Amino acid sequence: MTTDDAASHPPPFTRPQPRTLDGSERFDGLDATVLDFWRFALSDLRMNNVRGYLGEFLVARALGATGNRVEWDSYDVLTPEGVRVEVKVRAHVQAWAQREARLGAFKVGQARPWDHSIGKYGEPGWNADVYVLCVHTALDHDSYDELDVAQWEFYVLARHVVVERAGREMSRAWLQEATGGPTPYAELAQAVNAAAR
């Protein structure tokens, strides 16, 4: 079957639009709400996967994006101007015991996008127009505040910069030199739109 044939014959289980939940919905057969589940699964905003979602949320809000995250999309945020943004997150402090606070370097390589229309991975590529690399700057648990946007740094990179690095490490020091320093949260939308041009 060719790609054109696959596109004209979508898989029998196409992705539905998700229901918008507010947390008050109740489970059938269980004395619990969706909010109870969210508290169970997502309360610790220091966990790597949840912190990644939080970084995406902060960037989406700054850019005026209104859609919810889609787990299998080939980028994380779509701006109202149509700019595709990939968000990566790092932090010094983790949710588990550490010998020392340590910030790992970013590595961004090509990714295989999931094609919802045919239910398969596409060819590896650079699937975003702009990359926002986020660093949570707290150095210890006592000062770590998950809800303080001022504790985050945002580094905006145009696609060509990430492609030139092609999976090589990007340390915080490298990011500061390459970008001239972090972008203030209030200026993130302007910086992303400029990087997309």
Residue 145: φ, ψ to 5°: -125, 105
Burial label, 122 (beta-carbon count in 10 A; 0-12, 13-18, 19+)? middle
pTM: 0.89
DSSP state of 24: -
Determine the Cα–Cα distance for residues 48 and 94; give it in Å rounded to an integer: 7
Max CA distance (Å), the chain: 57
Question: Would you write out the chain's pLDDT as a tens digit for each of its 197 residues?
Answer: 455 555 555 556 666 777 889 999 999 999 999 999 999 999 999 999 999 999 999 999 999 998 888 888 889 999 999 999 999 999 999 988 889 999 999 999 999 988 877 788 989 999 999 999 999 999 999 999 989 999 999 999 999 999 999 989 999 999 999 999 999 999 999 999 999 99
- Tokens standing for 134? 């986020």
- The full length of the chain comes to 197
Exposure of 197 in the CB half-sphere (CA atoms within 13 A): 5
Owner of token pair 């968000």: 87
